[in-house]
A and B are shown apart, each in its own frame.
Chain A
Amino acid sequence: MSATHMTEASPAGGVDWGLVGRQIVGILRMELRNQLFSRRAFALYFLAFAPVGIMALWAASPVPDKLALSGPIDASRVYAFVFQGYLSTSIFLSCLILFMSLFRGEILEKSLHYYFLSPIRREVLVAGKYVAALIAVTGVFAVGTTTLYLLTMSPWGLGELGRYLFSGPGLGHLITYVSIAVLACIGYGAIFQLAGQLFKNPVSVAVLLWAWEFINPFLPSLLKKLSVIFYLNSLLPVPVAAGAFAIQADPIPAWVSVPGVLLLTAAVLALAGWRARNMEISYGSDD
């Protein structure tokens, strides 16, 4: 019996979940430091908080009067537009950079074999790395989405903001937007992690996926359903006009779209685990 199996099998022969949990926590400790405090994290913070900076400038300047917005209800339409860009640019690119480099980055740094030599099941390693990156990216984007939302609604004073949040639809909308951001990180993260494991040069995959998500409004109804963005857009509390040449399709109800994205994620992660189990490292050809 290999060392891996000896350490993970409980005396009864099943999986020792306590050990798996401790291993995941160990991976989380190392990976979270990498994800949040390395140079790579600069891109994450920039993408998450640069739009917040622009919105803060907007909120502080007298421009809202010029926009002829009557209050937070009107501003929610502006937010819906900004959030869509935030989703398809900031969140998409952050997931791309973070999740694709989970395995590819280790291969380029020639350090993946340290993980592979330790007595951890490969599936546990995949899960640990995924959860660490997910915690980092969802944490940052939950804060980013909330700050962006509050700043958009803030030019009319704290009293109006409080009324909109607690007596109007504001809080519900905010929770929905944060949930969409989290769901986007979950879905895109799994896809990009698998791409980082499967392809030596994941750029082509990233470009293709971006192009597919970009042209989604112009695709026929059936093809729209083969993308992540369609399910996320279906959840938007304030719909955004897709443009003159867009093909309209009925939004998918939340009870279908949320489990849909989660099921896709589970399937992709299972595939990533299987791929990791059969993975062999060849550092020489990866520079």
Chain B
Amino acid sequence: MAVYERTYSRYQGPLTSTSTRFLILPKYAFREVFASKWMLAFLVLCFVFPLWCCAVIYLSNNADFLALFPNLDITQFLKIDADFFFTFLQVQAWYAFFLSLFIGPGLVSRDLSNNGLPLYLSRPFSRVEYVVGKTTVLAIVLSAITWVVGLLLVTMQASFVGWGWLADNLRLVFGMFVGSWIWILTLSLMSLAISAWVRWRPVAAFAMFLVLLGGLFFGSTINLLFRTEVGDLLNLIKVIFVLWASLLGVDSGLETSVFSASVVLLLYWGGFLYMLNRKIRAYEVVS
């Protein structure tokens, strides 16, 4: 065909439904994420503790194993209750943080540093869909190592003890699901917001590290100097632990109230959303 005959014509192919358009982003992002063997290895490592929990649940319900210790009440050590699942979530929270440290910063920073945002936003694709799409990448991976395996463990325990146990512990199911999502959303928003502002991937990861470590250090210094527990509110991990303890109905061992922890978390979310709103735009003014 001669060049002069190449005129504009509208795309005639099938269109992706508007409701599922954001899923295009995870589809391509996963290819990059799982291209790294180190990432895959770390993801496998994230399932080591759930596997250990699985063994504990199995052994605590195994009559032959319990019979090996006739003079010892082994169930005291292998007690499967809300505290057990609280510990499970606490451990997986750290894995989730490190996973988001590796995956999160590259999600937005590449688009921004290569001026790729106009390419997304010049299409029928909104800023909200962009953020939701990028969040979905992290949400899917982090869900797999938090609430999905958590609920599998709950199901395993219920299948051993009886479904009545599940009915008695519905709060556990709810707490694990909602608690995990709180952490997933926090990590996703934090990594997207930081990587939108700090465009270098490694520096963005350091900044995430700084938010967590800095909160830990500054919080404990304030607590020590002022004989208070207010410093715990700077520590994102402790804030989350307070909320989880409340959701699961266990004692977190912290004096921070659920209300103040919720307010602080909402402030964090608000800050991250504000940061995203400032940077995720189809144009950029370079001064």
Tell whether A and B belong to one assembly: yes
A residues contacting B by CB (< 8 A) are 40, 43, 47, 50-51, 54-55, 58, 61, 63, 66-67, 78, 81-82, 85-86, 88-90, 93, 96-97, 100-101, 104-105, 108, 201-204, 206-207, 210, 287
Cβ of B174 within 8 Å of any chain A Cβ, yes or no, is no
Which residues of B94-108 have CB atoms within 8 Å of chain A's CB atoms? 98, 101-102
CA distance A190 to B110 in the complex (A): 29
Query: Does the CB pair B218–A54 fall under 8 Å?
Result: yes
A81 contact set on B, CB distance < 8 A: 224
Q: A82-B221, A204-B38, A207-B101 are in contact. Are A287 and B201 (CB under 8 A)?
A: yes
- Are A47 and B214 also in contact (CB < 8 A) when A63-B227, A78-B225, A206-B206 are? yes
State how many angstroms separate the Cβ of B270 from the closest Cβ of chain A: 21
A interface, by DSSP: helix, strand, loop or mixed? Answer: helix
Q: Which 6 A-B pairs have the closest CB atoms?
A: A89-B217, A203-B205, A58-B225, A85-B217, A108-B200, A203-B202
- Count residues of chain B with CB under 8 A from any CB of chain A: 28
Residues on B with C-beta less than 8 A from A93 are: 206, 209-210, 213-214
Q: Are B201 and A201 in contact (CB under 8 A)?
A: yes
- Bound-state Cα–Cα, A1 to B227, Å: 68
Question: Is the beta-carbon distance between A204 and B218 smaller than 8 angstroms?
Answer: no
B202 in complex: contacting residue of A63, A66, A82, A202, CB < 8 Å: A202
9 contacts between A and B (CB under 8 A): A54-B222, A88-B217, A90-B217, A93-B206, A97-B206, A100-B206, A104-B202, A204-B102, A210-B213
Query: What residues on A are CB-neighbors of B16 within 8 Å?
Result: none
Question: Which of B207, B217, B222, B226 has the largest number of chain A CB atoms within 10 A?
Answer: B217
B residues within 8 A CB of A101?
200, 202-203
- Nearest to B110 among chain A residues (CB) is A287
Chain B residues whose C-beta falls within 8 Å of the C-beta of A61 in the assembled complex: 226
Counting chain A CB atoms within 10 Å of each CB, the highest count among B200, B213, B224, B225 belongs to B225
Chain B residues positioned under 8 Å from A40 (CB to CB): 203
The residues of B with any CB-CB pair to A shorter than 8 Å are 38, 98, 101-102, 110, 113-114, 200-203, 205-207, 209-210, 213-214, 216-218, 220-222, 224-227
Across the interface, do B216 and A89 meet the contact criterion of CB distance under 8 Å?
yes
Q: In the complex, A97→B209 CA distance in Å?
A: 11
Beyond A78-B224, A203-B102, 20 additional contacts (C-beta under 8 Å) are: A47-B210, A47-B214, A50-B214, A54-B218, A63-B226, A63-B227, A66-B227, A67-B227, A81-B224, A85-B221, A93-B206, A93-B209, A97-B206, A101-B203, A105-B200, A201-B201, A201-B202, A203-B209, A204-B102, A206-B209
